[in-house]
Structure 1
């Protein structure tokens, strides 16, 4: 198979979808790999490293897309890439379709096969290609939140861990999944007073057992969320419904009950956000303020730490990429329920129900193509 790796062009996106090590693995399996020049530079990988691993370097994205049967990316295609994607081409990347209808429509019109990292799902409901970036984003949410609590950045002016004689900051984490667990772990390690909320009592029991003593658990419902936001300094939104829009747990009216300088970090922004006032921001301009509450809603948080993120992501995606290249997407998805769950759009049809439901569009059973 001919595989193309274009350079990511989303604002401040420095990750790359394939490392030189991954390139070598695909070449070893008999595949041709085209990598756009400087695609790996932001993550610390040179064109020379890719060449030594067996890749062919191409100077422009249009040629990479034109030559490749499978495109491997990190982030969803953006508008200037739409026209480069063609019928029957396989695109393997994060899509987060349910949060952006123009992307969904563009991929439907392209006739391409869109296999989304975020909906590749195992029988135990875990999301193996979302987990590594959720781990990074969860940990980063505290790092960024602690920074924006500083007064010069319009925060409350409170140190996350406090000091002897002064109470630490209070951190509220919405969602006890991968993002929330990693956020709570880092916040607790920095000495904050942490509360983590979830709707699953079994999950809360588990977290109560494994988390340090400065992490408390509470059942998530509208009443409890409304009460806790009033006196927490940093609030992390980390809820997820695979492939679907995130539920709005913090509504516009709750902002007026928060203290000035409270910081909200919405890690769920890729899926539409779990904070009603959330709108996607970039690393270049990461925050905005509504009702004296600081909103940090960067849609590609792990892109700020590309070396760590690229290695973490490609450790997870490479085995699936090799399987797709070796067998072709139809056979690979027929044999693997995990990969089959990743199919979102095929030949102009939406084959993932949550995406169709998000925009009231027709849904087609993926079995039509397998």
Structure 2
């Protein structure tokens, strides 16, 4: 089997992470930091394209990595229209939607465009893998309870799908043959019910649905939220910031750093322990709800993300959900690896690339 060479690109708000892979082996990785003042010169995200591309190419040259050597360039997927999970070949329709930014401005929108632009020089293929807009909800999961509002699927799809596939590989079975519940625990939290390779139920993690997280409020009592919105004390933007950015641990404890909360707990802060335990409690409730979605037929519960490094937090969850199935913990999130694996599945003819339309 040929050892394909890939460049992986993950643009963030003030940085661009790149990785060079030979097959699944990482041979070079760098986080390219961007000065906030430099970025402020650009009105729209798409205006940063040449700036970021030049920095990537310069970093590759400095490390003696030839651009023409890549079989594929894989970028982080952005805010596209809802699509099913998988690896997508970058096409004109995708580029058009990302350049327009009609579904939102986000650094990840540059991933596919950078991959495409560099692929033209490398004479390789350009892909994206499992963007946050992955939508595989079953029809019944879309019903909210109010006709004017439909439930949406926005989740940490790249990491959720990657750890689900990893678990399947370790069990020598196919992801498409398993029923899994995956809880991603990071700055945002998402809990997905994976039925035979599809995330058939999950909340809108971007808006903080479900369990509260370090920065997001989670699902709030609707009546009280309505009163707060119409109290006259807050603007629309202020309420949105309360829910996403200043919610969760930030609201209660003034920090979004779970490690700081653990430190306080170890120093005897009982209130910090209550709030942290409440976050674990809500995650466990979401896992229980996902078990109901899968009618109790759950092969494994998987816990992943940065907070999964903390044994106390994951221990609280396990106490509540171990009756459902076994629990596997994969701490952290290796997004570069997940992107590389998605590109390799296509290059190795393990799956066909999907078409964005």
Normalized against structure 2, the TM-score is what?
Answer: 0.31
Normalized against structure 1, the TM-score is what?
Answer: 0.30
